[in-house]
A = this chain, B = another copy of it.
Amino acid sequence: MKNIYLIGIGLIGGSFAIDIKKHFPESIIHGISRKEATLEEALSLNLIDKKATLDDLENADVVIISIPVDATVKMLPTILDKISDSSLVIDAGSTKEAICKVIENHPKRRNFLACHPIAGTENSGPSAAIPDLYVGKTNIICEVEKTTFKLQEKALQLFTAIGMRIRYMDPVAHDKHIAYVSHLSHISSFMLGKTVLEKERNERDIFDMAGSGFASTVRLAKSSPAMWTPIFEQNKDNIIETLEKYINNLQHFKELMEEKKFDEIYNEMENTNYIKQILNGIK
């Protein structure tokens, strides 16, 4: 765990950097980014020790990729080409099927571990990185059996040190379920924000009427379009399915309102209150 190379140093990569430095103080964090400004910012925030390029990857003990998922799909084969035989490459993408697919026949497939740490905030960029982001959070690992045993072990050592719990899943199931519990939330939030802005954009005073409930439901509408557009693209079919169900439920609710069936509206809400038990388990 000496030479760590971060490809992408935003909220996810930067927060890894902070916690790796804390738990593995002997490590040297090398940063790779498309943008020079990001590298400079990451240096000045002490997230990375050194700037690097893809050609330096042969020196990497661990490579952590946290860039938009379209860029991951594009770059992952090249990254595997460049690493040494003993390197571990981890990604942190919110989709897993396309990423696993693109390197399924790569000669260094066994150096790669497909991961999705369920952690984050609505903020992005190096300045969004925070300590302890991963403590108590779930890390979903896909196709673990395709990674060499020694490197599985190395990855687990890293994840355990920074406080994550591990779940194993296949990429197809991951993408299907994550559409419901993450991707749909982002769309519902973006469209809620859009609906209110369209109505109220020119009446700024009206937002004095908005309370913490509104803030909570539209929080995800602050998320980065550069990060989320490729996620929606890669998980298109699953997301369309969730959207259909969500729209149908809203449409049904509207019809109950129009038909003044308020007893049924009460029941809809009471049944959904069951979500309390589930949310109690989420940090």
- Contact among B138, B243, B268, B270 for A209, CB-based, below 8 A: B138
**CB of A283 within 8 Å of the partner chain:** yes
A207 — nearest CB in chain B belongs to which residue? B278
A185 touches B218 (CB 8 A): yes
8 A Cβ contacts from A263-283 to B: 265-276, 278-279, 281-283
A196 touches B210 (CB 8 A): no
Size bracket of the A interface: 35 or more
A-B contact pairs, 13 of them (CB 8 A): A118-B210, A122-B213, A177-B203, A178-B209, A180-B196, A181-B206, A185-B218, A195-B246, A197-B271, A198-B249, A207-B281, A222-B279, A240-B257
Cα(A242)–Cα(B174), bound, Å: 33
Least CB distance from A45 to B in Å reads 21
A272 touches B137 (CB 8 A): no
- Contact among B120, B220, B233 for A262, CB-based, below 8 A: B233
Cα(A221)–Cα(B228), bound, Å: 25
**CB of A251 within 8 Å of the partner chain:** yes
Chain B residues with Cβ under 8 A from A279's Cβ? 215, 218-219, 222
Chain B residues with Cβ under 8 A from A185's Cβ? 192, 213-214, 216-218
**CB of A135 within 8 Å of the partner chain:** no
A214 touches B181 (CB 8 A): yes
A282 touches B180 (CB 8 A): no
A247 — nearest CB in chain B belongs to which residue? B250
CB within 8 Å for A118 and B211 given contacts A225-B270, A246-B191: yes
Cα(A240)–Cα(B259), bound, Å: 11
**CB of A154 within 8 Å of the partner chain:** no
Least CB distance from A145 to B in Å reads 19
Number of copies: 2
8 A Cβ contacts from A74-103 to B: none
**CB of A199 within 8 Å of the partner chain:** yes
A269 — nearest CB in chain B belongs to which residue? B225
**CB of A167 within 8 Å of the partner chain:** yes
- Contact among B178, B240, B253 for A243, CB-based, below 8 A: B253
Chain B residues with Cβ under 8 A from A194's Cβ? 249, 268, 271-272
CB within 8 Å for A257 and B236 given contacts A211-B120, A222-B273, A246-B250: yes
A213 touches B182 (CB 8 A): yes
A250 touches B257 (CB 8 A): no
